[in-house]
Amino acid sequence: MPTLEIKDLHASINGQPILKGVSLIIPQGEVHAIMGPNGSGKSTLAKVIAGHEDYEVTSGDVLMDGESILEMEVDERSRKGLFLAFQYPMEVPGVSIANFLRAAIQSRLPEGKELEVTEYYQQLYREMDRLGMDRSFTSRSVNEGFSGGEKKRNEILQMAMLKPRYAILDETDSGLDIDALKIVANGVNALRGPDLGILLITHYQRLLDHIVPDNVHVMANGRILRSGNKDLALELEQKGYDWILESAA
């Protein structure tokens, strides 16, 4: 089965180790959640997998369908089918969502092939309807002046359009009220399927009420301390993280 495999990954920033041996296997078709206290290295893991240049991988590997992606540029990983929904999506002033996504999709087409514009807009509008986004969104500059909820919806819209094989959702629930959370969760659930592996990074259990994971991993201090099924998340909700940290120590 195709997988995104993280093998004993160590990474540091400015010489400071953050990831201290993370191992995880996310098969296509499954949703894995990583939970953990602040500063546990969850977001770092997301950025390292995506290829952020601030982080140095000191050992270990990340394999997509068996192929190491660590030597690939950020954009190459993306075109191979890796998507990161950002915790803090960046603004791109003056560039409309429609043009931005068009450029992103065009970058995936084989040389010489032009994007089919009519088809593109049909698909775009369909996905926007699903996420309850107004048509006027297409002409707004990417994330500029967006509310927290709009930014997160825009991330899921891009995910829907780019059709990744593996998606990492970094704190996609942060800054959302309950209605927005439901819309975003529905959007993600609609994309679940045998061809997509999802890694959900979250601080809170509440997202997992709406996007039910196949597996839950608890991360602290740069390591995965415990893995289990969705009940582990409920246990964490009740008992907090301390008991795991203590039992690990």
Partner 1 sequence: MSVKNNEINIDREIGNFHYNLTPAHDAGYGLTEETIHFICDVKNEPDWIRELRLRALEVFRSKPLPTHWATEDLRNIDFDQIRYYIAPGTDVKRSWDEVPTEVKETFERLGIPESERKFLAGVEAQFDSEAVYSNIKKAVADQGVIFMGSTEALKEHPEIFRKWFGKVIPTGDNKFSALNSAVFSGGSFIYVPPGVKVKHPLQAYFRINSENFGQFERTLIIADEGSEVMYMEGCTAPKFETSTLHSAVVELVAMPRAKIQYITVQNWSSNVFNLVTKRGLALEEAEIKWIDCNIGSRLTMKYPGVVMKGRKARGEVISIALAGDGQHQDTGAKMIHAADETTSNIVSKSISIGKGRATYRGQVTVPRHLKGCKNNTECDALLINTDSRTDTYPAIIVRGLGNAAQHEASVSQVNAEQIFYMMQRGLTEAQAMSLAVNGFVNDLVRQFPMEYSVELKRLIDLEMEGSVG
Site residues (vs partner 1, CB under 8 A): 50, 52-54, 73-75, 78-79, 83-84, 86, 89-95, 99-101, 103-108, 111-112, 114, 141, 158, 162
Instruction: Find the DSSP H helices in 136-241.
Output: 148-162, 178-191, 206-210, 231-239
Choice between 105 and 199, CB closer to partner 1: 105
Q: How far is the CB of 126 from partner 1 (least distance, A)?
A: 19
Q: How far is the CB of 114 from partner 1 (least distance, A)?
A: 8
- Could you tell me which residues come within 8 angstroms of residue 199 by beta carbon, excluding any fewer than 6 positions away? 4, 24, 26, 32, 33, 34, 46, 166, 167, 168, 169
Choice between 52 and 206, CB closer to partner 1: 52
Choice between 52 and 192, CB closer to partner 1: 52
Residue identified by tokens 């707004």 is: 140
Q: How far is the CB of 107 from partner 1 (least distance, A)?
A: 4
89-118 burial, b at 16+ Cβ within 10 Å, e below that, comes to: beeeeeebbbebbbeebeeeeeeeeeeeee
**97 close to 154: Cβ distance less than 8 angstroms:** yes
Nearest to 49 by CA among 13, 89, 78, 27: 78
Q: How far is the CB of 221 from partner 1 (least distance, A)?
A: 25
Q: How far is the CB of 238 from partner 1 (least distance, A)?
A: 36
**Residue 240 CB neighbours (<10 A):** 11
Q: How far is the CB of 225 from partner 1 (least distance, A)?
A: 28
Side-chain-facing half-sphere of 60: CA atoms under 13 Å: 22
**208 close to 33: Cβ distance less than 8 angstroms:** yes
- Measured distance CA(161)–CA(115) in Å, rounded: 13
Report DSSP state, residue 2: -
Choice between 111 and 231, CB closer to partner 1: 111
Choice between 108 and 223, CB closer to partner 1: 108
Nearest to 48 by CA among 198, 168, 204, 215: 168
Choice between 28 and 78, CB closer to partner 1: 78
Choice between 93 and 193, CB closer to partner 1: 93
Q: How far is the CB of 131 from partner 1 (least distance, A)?
A: 17
φ, ψ of residue 229 in degrees (nearest 5): -90, -170
